Structure formats: C-alpha cells, structure tokens
Structure 1
C-alpha cells in the first residue's frame, strides 16, 4: 500500500491527490491519503478535496504509524533530520522534477508537493472527472459561467494575500500582466478578460488598463473561482498552484496559457512549474 500525505492549500492538495490517484490507476496498487495534518492546520480553509468527486480513501492512524512511526517527538525528529532511517518514508527529492521511481513502489509513505503534471498526464481524463465540484455552483458563478461560454474568455489570476508575507515567493509585477494581456490580444480575436483575485480591490485599481475586462466579485469561494477559471477559453495564471490548476483543468484544445517565467523570486535550483506547451513570460 502507498500512503500520500495531503497538506497545504487547495492547489497543493490537488497535486498530491493527482499523484496518488495516478499511481493507483497505473500500477493497480492500493493508495490511501494521510489527512492527519489537518487536525492542526488552520490555513487556506483546511481540507478541501472532499468537495470534489474524488475516490477518497483515507489511511487510518495505525496504518500511518506502520510506515512512519508515531507522532512522538522522537519520530518527528527522525522524519525531519534522518528520514532515511525510516525505510518506507520517502520525501520529495527534487521539487517540480519528475521522479519515475514513484511508480515502482509497493509499500511507501510519500511526503511532498509533487508539482509536475507528468505524474498524472497519462490519466488526465480520469483526473478531469474527479476534479469536478460536488453539487451546484453558486448563483453568481453559474451566471458567470454562462457568460464566458459565449465569448473569447480569458481568466486572469492575481495572487496577493499571504504571498505579500513571503518575499522568497514574491507577488508578480504589473508588467507581467501587461505583457500577458498583449500576448493574448495578438493571438485571440476580441478577447474578454475576467480577473480573479484574493484582492479584487487592488486589481480594480491597478489593472484598469485592460480593455474588455471584468473584475469577478460574484463568486463565493475558491471552488467557484477554480471552476470558472477552468471554463474560460484561455488563461493567464499567477505564480500559484491554484491558478496552475485553473489552466490545467481547461479542456479547450486550442487554449493559450500564459505563465510567469519567474515563478519564485528566490529559486537557486531553477525549479519550473509551467508545462512545455504553455507560454512563459
């Protein structure tokens, strides 16, 4: 059995689940999720994967302890400083880089973010089905979805919020969005732009140079936003796994996705998040 740790915001949770599901589907190995971290995790609305139509299999506490030991300070120290002492405990080796050896494992606990679309591209159609929201969208999101279906809609995601407190990640400059909009306008006839953000007031003030632009304030949560972004014809994403998924879930075969070339201001190992077919600016 494989156990995959789930933690972080919605975008990170989706990467972790997509890896888990891909391993299960491609190797016929039982894979379960470790959700114990959310007992104390207070950020980003907590665990959100259960809002999707996923194949949720949750590992028990005893199953997890067989792989990584208990939650005592002793085992916590081993996992942090000497993880190699735990034979079944495997942390991510190189962030964003594909590791094919994960699909050869039979008994392991995987701790990482797994930010690489190659892990689950072979099972894309199944992942698309499972990452659909249970129930109905909000009224505002439903009306917006109908509007964008009849236009050359382009989502723009602006991530601020907690990124303002993380200078190593950094908030994207306005110049990136100017260049991204220019790129779309040179390739798409009569585009309509829809801005999604955790700081829509800032966007209204600083992105008012964009023509045919709508600042979205009718959605009620991140599930609304993710669904509507993925329903747009094209996407301009931020340096955020949340908008990464908004673009990946976009099933338009002619979609144009613009992503920031500089994803993190501090990135000495040159980790890369964008897919090869996306345009990096």
Structure 2
C-alpha cells in the first residue's frame, strides 16, 4: 500500500501516557522513514489491515516498530528483536486474525506493533545508547516507561476513542525480561487504562495485599525494576468480546509464574 503513514492524534492521546503526547510527531516521522525500508513496507501492509498479522518462527524479526526517546533529546529506532524459543505468546486468539491459514508448529502470528520507550534515568540513558538491557537494576532510580499498541489502532483506527473498551497488560521487570517478558497483569476497562493504572498505583502505595500490587511494590522497593510497560492488547466496542479475550489470556497463562492475576479473567472472574 502506498501513501504516507499518519498516527491518529485522538487515539494517540487517548491511549498513550501524558508525557508521550508531545512525541507523536517525532514517532510519526521516524515511522515514515522506517516504513520506506523493505521490511517496513511489508510491515505496513499488515499494520493497516484490521486483524492483520505477520507469521514468524524462531530467528525471525518480531514485527514491532520500537522507538526510544530520551530526556536529553536523543530519539532513535531500536533494532528489531528476533523471536527466540520460549517467546511468551500473548495473542488474543485466531478468531481475531484476518488470515485463515492455521498456525503451524513453532509459529507465532503477531500483530504489527508500535512501541515507544521514554527514558529519563541517567544510568538507563547511558545503557540505551549501547543497547544494553542488562544494566544492574540497583543503578536505576527511575524506570523507563514503555507504551505499545497494535499499529492498526493508531494508524488506521475504527470508531471513537471515548466509546471504546480496552484490554491491556502492565508488564515490569529488569534485565533480559525487557520489554515483554517480566511480571504481568492482564486487565480490561470500560474507562481509560490510565485511570485504572492510577488506581492500581494508589492501592499499591497504600499497602494493598493483592498480588499485583504487592509484587510491584516489592520489586520497586528492592530496585529490581528498570522498565514498566503499558501494553494495549485490543480495543473494542463489544464488551462481551472484551471479557472473552481477557479470560482467554489469563487462562492461557495460568501456569506462568510471572502472572499476577489472582482470579480467572472475564466473566469467569466475576463468577
């Protein structure tokens, strides 16, 4: 597909943390340049299609456009990660995919993603210049803040932000778990995920003993957190589809020791 790439301002500001609002133009500029590459053109074709996915196996590039923005003004696109054995699959189910071809053994079907990493800590900024994710967490006083979402929501959105429901994850950790393999909590909201995150943070600070709140508090106090990743998984106006997706995600990772949900998701959790 030809034509320049635009990031929808309403959706960007509705979904991203407030400090990232002003970075939309920079992200858009770097994304346009990236989409002129051979891989970028391939990525963009899927990213513009509802339910579009890219099939990958171990060793293939993960279809994430990942930009890093630092407090000192430096901004760059990070090298793409490669899929490795044991990569945590957090897809929301084949019924969401445009492709009718069944998934093959060892294959993942991943939606193209736009991710922005906002780095303000001096030690992390020095490490980011060297693409070093193994910086000792004790050196970090301010974890980087990541946001990611399926690219289609941001560059070819459907519907209105304020009338949509969100399925999201909060992921946090250090070192090699960056950016998606740390402790994680899956949630849904009929409001903004940012409102729910603020409520979670307040509960954590007040000593809530819920597993998510307790683990985040403990890891922060022990200086074992170098990043906090807010990952939007899906946006919909169908609340039942939202419940089903949350339930499937939590159920699919019930044995994962990094999971911080204490009860099943969706309607099962309410029951």
Do these two structures clear the TM 0.5 threshold for a shared fold by scoring above it?
no
TM-score under structure 1 length normalisation = 0.28
TM-score under structure 2 length normalisation = 0.29
